[in-house]
Amino acid sequence: MGQRSEYIPPGWDYNPAAWSQRIPIVILAFVGFGIATYLSLYQLNYVDTVWEPFFGDGSITILNSKISRLLPIPDAALGALGYLVDAISGIIGGTNRWRRMPWIVIVFGLAVGPLGFISVMLVVFQPVLFSAWCTLCLASAIVSISMIGPAMDEMLASLQYIQRAKRSGISTWKVFWGIQPEVEKIK
Amino acid sequence: MWTIFINIILGIWLMAAPTILGYGPIASDNGHIVGPIIVTFSTISLWEATNAVRKWNYPFALWLLLAPWILEYDLTIAIVSDMLIGAMVFAMSTLRSSMKNRYGGGWTSLWKKYPDHMNDPME
């Protein structure tokens, strides 16, 4: 499915927008969403305790830290929102979306990549500030960093496509948004 | 590929060692910061299209060689461990994983005058 040869970008051996490439990332995003939702239910006081098998009071310390409440909504809720953006932007579009809708591929790449990276760093640096570890926060971080590598190939295909459009003198703006007559002109 | 897994294990060790071996606060903080960075970059570099990210480990590996002296670690085991990890992570990060697929010239193609994806021999 999605490995039709005309959907393979020039100079590539496979189609990075094929479902076989995208579904594992979407599954990871939903796992991350589940973990982050559970943690935000604790932070919003909908559940009284949080599962912590290894680090004693670690999760409680971290999930109630000042940094986690810096913004109007708790950080785990922001994380859940981030994972939801990852999942939705991973699902939208067909198996030729790297050239038919580069914008969604770029949104997906930025949500999973740079934003994912920042959120991971925020989670993992908490031991420095609070001398505590949080099992589910670490699990969420592992999910996030596992998504980055597999998502980036599709972004590369879209950027190369935009590069080809630019070289052919076709409006980068229109190609980015996938406006039909322009898209047809490029391979 | 195996070189990356070694880097991931070394990064996890950086995070765990301060507690296991009882490092002082400065050496602990350093491990808690550099460890996750090495784990993250190494995990990203597991995939072919982002294998080059392993090179982002270089500055952090070099820092591990210097940090014990700049930050004045008081524990010998912490000095030895960090320097050894720094040297190993650097060495492992220089090794490219073997590629199964082509990527139209990869990320560097985006800055090239004649990128591979524009003069594909298959066309």
Q: What is the ipTM of this complex?
A: 0.89
Domain that holds residue B47: 2-118
**pLDDT at residue A3, as a whole number:** 57
Q: How many residues does chain B have?
A: 123
Calpha distance A77→A98 (Å, rounded): 30
Q: Does B47 touch chain A (CB under 8 A)?
A: yes
Counting every residue written for chain A, the total comes to 187
Domains along chain A with CATH numbers: 14-155 (1.20.1440.130)
What are the structure tokens assigned to A153, written together?
A: 């190939």
Half-sphere exposure of A15 (CA within 13 A, CB side): 19
Q: Do residues A98 and A161 lie in contact, with contact meaning Cβ atoms separated by under 8 Å?
A: yes
Among A40, A36, A3, A39, residue whose Cα is nearest residue A21: A3
Contact A85, A144 (CB under 8 A): no
In a domain, B11, yes or no: yes
* Count of domains forming chain B: 1
Per-residue pLDDT of chain B (123 residues; tens, 9 = 90+): 899 999 999 999 999 999 999 999 999 999 999 999 999 999 999 999 999 999 999 999 999 999 999 999 989 999 999 999 999 999 999 998 888 999 999 999 999 888 888 875 444
Residue with tokens 């479902």: A19
* Cα A145 to Cα A156, A157, B84, distances in angstroms: 18, 21, 25
Is A64's Cβ below 8 Å from some Cβ in B? Answer: no
Measured between CB atoms, does A109 come within 8 Å of chain B?
no
Asked if A156 lies within 8 A of B107 by C-beta distance, the reply is yes
Tens-digit pLDDT profile for residues A5-61: 789 999 999 999 999 999 999 999 999 999 999 999 999 989 999 999 999 888 988
In a domain, B123, yes or no: no
Q: In the Cβ-directed half-sphere of A49, how many Cα atoms lie within 13 Å?
A: 5
List the single residue in B with minimal CA-CA distance to A130.
Answer: B29
Contact A10 B120 (CB under 8 A): yes
Checking phi first, is residue A178 left (phi over 0); if not, alpha (psi -120 to 50) or beta? left
Where residue A72 falls among pLDDT bands split at 50, 70, 90? confident
In a domain, B22, yes or no: yes
Q: Tens digits of per-residue pLDDT, A162-177?
A: 998 888 888 888 888 8
CA dihedral B83, B88, B94, B97 (to 10 degrees): -150
Residue B52 placed within a domain: yes
Joined tokens for residue A130: 């609070």
- Check CB contact under 8 Å for B49 and A152: yes
The alpha-carbon gap from B87 to the nearest alpha carbon of chain A, in Å, equals 23
Mean pLDDT, residues A51-73: 87
Which residues does A52 contact at the CB level (< 8 Å), separation at least 6?
A58, A59, A60, A134, A135, A136
